Structure 1
Amino acid sequence: MRRYLVLAGAAALAAGLLGLGLRGLEAVAQAALPPELNNAYIRDLAQKARAEGGVINSYGMPNDWANYGGIFGEFQRLFGIRQQDIDMGSAVVLARMREEKAGKNDVADLKPAFAMTLAEEGLTLPYRVTSWAALPEGQKGVGKDGSTWYAGYKGTLGWIVNTRLVKKVPRTWKDLENPEYKGLIQYMDPRATGTGVATIMSAAYALTGDPYNYKAGVDFFARLHRLGVIGAVEPKVTTAKFERGEVGIFINYDYNLLAWKERFPFPTEVVIPEDGSLANGGGIVAARNAPHPNTARLFLEFVFSKYGQGLFAQAFVTPIRPDVELPKEVAAKFPPKSAYAKVRFVDYKREEAVSEALQKYYGETIR
């Protein structure tokens, strides 16, 4: 989309500014800071962050997820700090941060239930952003030794349909059982991604009214596999098969679906299933032993400021802060409000309680 090209150009400009030297870069960055970030605390934190090497290491924050390309591009433009990401799903982020004792990455995106787990194990940075009070209850928390976790944004599970390939657009989860969709459905692997877990739970909610009845959700997807309608199960986000026309129905969050709809050169439709779906937050944490701790703190301040939250809002991603709204031109491209009538927000604690059993049952049932 056009805004991504603008941000990419801005990021390249910021990289060029590195040649001005530290003082010149600081002057340019401070002059460009939005008013709410242009204060003594943020300027001092930015100076400390740049002294750490001008890089931020992230897990699970690829450019094509939740507008992270735009967000990190703007972070680089303002502060001269570039991102290095290793794309991985939530389950892998959790495992890696445990294995590494939260000492290799600075920040990460993973499902809030796993973000809570990391905080409870004392593996996240003990840092409360200055906008802490503006974040809704239940979307932030404190764990062991002051470790904090956050939900940074939210979205709803649905699917995007290539209407050139799929003539009868599925409107409900049950509609996906149509044999006409042979090899056309793609979804995220629940053993590796939080999106995959939410997909199983959303189907369970639509079928039984109970999203935590994970066996019903897994059994439903097992039927889809037996019917031959599943064409791809992916451990990380990729639209390659959808863009090549190898699959025609891609299950994911509405913010990604709507951004992809803008980008794809062929006709598509975004569907929120009429028989029910789940809304979920996107967890953001900083690592307890981050190699660039001030850089991690600066990113948290940036992404939870109204300005940072507004960057989510520009790309169909609903900010977690209630005082930041989607721009009217963005909101107008969403499915109608009536499409969200049967959407339920997930309970992070209950999701966490069933996730491991869900993944185990999935692995035993779908091979």
Structure 2
Amino acid sequence: MKKTTLTLAGSLIALSASVSASYADKLTFYCSAQEEWCQVMARGFEDATGIDVNMTRKSSGETFAQIRAEAVNPKGDVWWGGTGDPHLQAAEEGLTEEYLSPMRDQLHDWAISQAESAGNRTIGIYSGALGYGYNTDLLAANNLPEPSCWKDLLKPEYKQHVQMANPNSSGTAYTTLASIIQIFGEDEGFEFMKGLHANINQYTKSGSAPIKAAGRGESTIGIVFMHDAVAQAVAGFPIKVVAPCEGTGYEIGSMSIVKGARNMDEAKQFYDWALSVDAQNLALEVNAFQVPSNKGAKTSDKAPDMASIKLIDYDFVKYGSSDERKRLLQKWDEDVSVLPQ
């Protein structure tokens, strides 16, 4: 009996050590930026720390839904990238962890403001303006006028020529919906979305997919963040970038630590590292043209000039709330998505 008890105790100790070792020096990293940027961030952190990173790339809306679904048994440690609205909603729902990084004094005010509005459960890592891009070759081939405003996209000649993501899965598309409502008011904004729906050829899952389709010549116009359109132009595709004449919304791309993360120490290490100059400068290696949140990080000379764009006073608190997001998405589902095209 004594020998059996000792053997059992030894087995339990070995099992405990094995479980502890399985979580040691590892990080489960949910990423909602472009694939190349996600990869360079994961590998960069591994090189800087020796911590193994398991990275999964999904859109902002998909990642938010996954973190919510896993709330009872969290599997992710840190969520990096994607529009700030779902990060704010996750914070409001208690799905993310409060953390005050020692790197905060190196950040722009807008990044700190994002953190403070969420009870320090998220923080700004980059910023970018919303707009669209179009394929100049396809525009000419179809004898279409050059668009320069949001309302231009409602013209009947653009039928089947416009693509955007689905706001249920894409943070970019939710920012589009929230921006249009703030620019035109809710009633007129939803009339705009109905008119736009008549010209949409496809609602994609990913926010950047519409401009990639335009770059490949599969669609003419893609509604995206302007830096994603710039990336296609820099890659050599015939894409022209548009900052809409009425004004436009913008994102504060964000980062959050998952509540109850299994690898909390590693998550905080990543959080601090991701706010550093070295980590944010990695964006330049993969043609990510957002404005970084660290004041000392470099911004590409090809990035959209935020100072020259007519930006609205985007209400991140209101449109980053869970109830408002649910209400607007339900209204879009019921009033817009069901209409014939």
Corresponding residue for residue 44 of structure 1: none
Corresponding residue for residue 166 of structure 1: 139
Q: Distance in 2 between matches of 1:297 and 1:125?
A: 10
- 1:143-188 deviations in whole A, cap 9, x for unaligned? 67xx621121110001121111013331100111223322121112
Rate the CA distance shift 1:233–1:126 in 2: closer, same or farther, 3 A. Answer: same
Shift of 1:337: 6.2
Q: Distance in 1 between matches of 2:303 and 2:146?
A: 17
Shift of 1:57: 2.9
Given residue 203 of structure 1, which amino acid in structure 2 is its aligned partner? I
Q: Distance in 1 between matches of 2:152 and 2:28?
A: 43
Match of 2:69 among 77, 90, 99: 99
Corresponding residue for residue 331 of structure 2: 361
3-state SS in 2 of match to 1:280 = strand
Match of 1:231 among 182, 185, 201: 201
Residue 281, structure 1, aligned to residue 258, structure 2: no
Give the share of equivalent positions with the same residue, in percent: 25
Given residue 273 of structure 1, which amino acid in structure 2 is its aligned partner? P
Q: Distance in 2 between matches of 1:150 and 1:172?
A: 31
Query: TM-score when scaled to structure 2?
Result: 0.78
Query: TM-score when scaled to structure 1?
Result: 0.73
Corresponding residue for residue 247 of structure 1: 219
Shift of 1:281: 0.3
Rate the CA distance shift 1:300–1:336 in 2: closer, same or farther, 3 A. Answer: closer
Given residue 150 of structure 2, which amino acid in structure 1 is its aligned partner? W
Shift of 1:59: 4.4
Match of 1:201 among 167, 178, 191: 178
Shift of 1:272: 0.9
Shift of 1:82: 5.1
Corresponding residue for residue 259 of structure 1: 231
5+ residue gaps, structure 2: 1-19
Q: Distance in 1 between matches of 2:303 and 2:29?
A: 32
Residue 344, structure 1, aligned to residue 325, structure 2: no
Corresponding residue for residue 16 of structure 1: none
Match of 1:120 among 88, 92, 95: 92
- 1:297-329 deviations in whole A, cap 9, x for unaligned? 1211111112223334663110123x23544xx
Q: Contact conserved, 2:106 with 2:296, CA < 8 A, in 1?
A: no
Corresponding residue for residue 129 of structure 1: 101
Corresponding residue for residue 151 of structure 1: 124
- 1:176-235 deviations in whole A, cap 9, x for unaligned? 1223322121112112222111112333344x2xxxx34433321211223xx2112112
5+ residue gaps, structure 1: 1-47
- 1:109-133 deviations in whole A, cap 9, x for unaligned? 3432332332333322343221123
Q: Distance in 2 between matches of 1:49 and 1:143?
A: 33
Q: Contact conserved, 1:172 with 1:274, CA < 8 A, in 2?
A: yes
Corresponding residue for residue 300 of structure 1: 271
Across the aligned residues of Structure 1 and Structure 2, the Cα RMSD in angstroms comes to 2.8
Number of residue pairs aligned between Structure 1 and Structure 2: 303
Q: Distance in 1 between matches of 2:179 and 2:93?
A: 28
Q: Distance in 2 between matches of 1:345 and 1:310?
A: 28
Residue 270, structure 1, aligned to residue 241, structure 2: yes
Rate the CA distance shift 1:222–1:82 in 2: closer, same or farther, 3 A. Answer: farther
Q: Contact conserved, 2:26 with 2:263, CA < 8 A, in 1?
A: no
Rate the CA distance shift 1:118–1:312 in 2: closer, same or farther, 3 A. Answer: same
Q: Distance in 2 between matches of 1:313 and 1:121?
A: 34
Given residue 73 of structure 1, which amino acid in structure 2 is its aligned partner? R
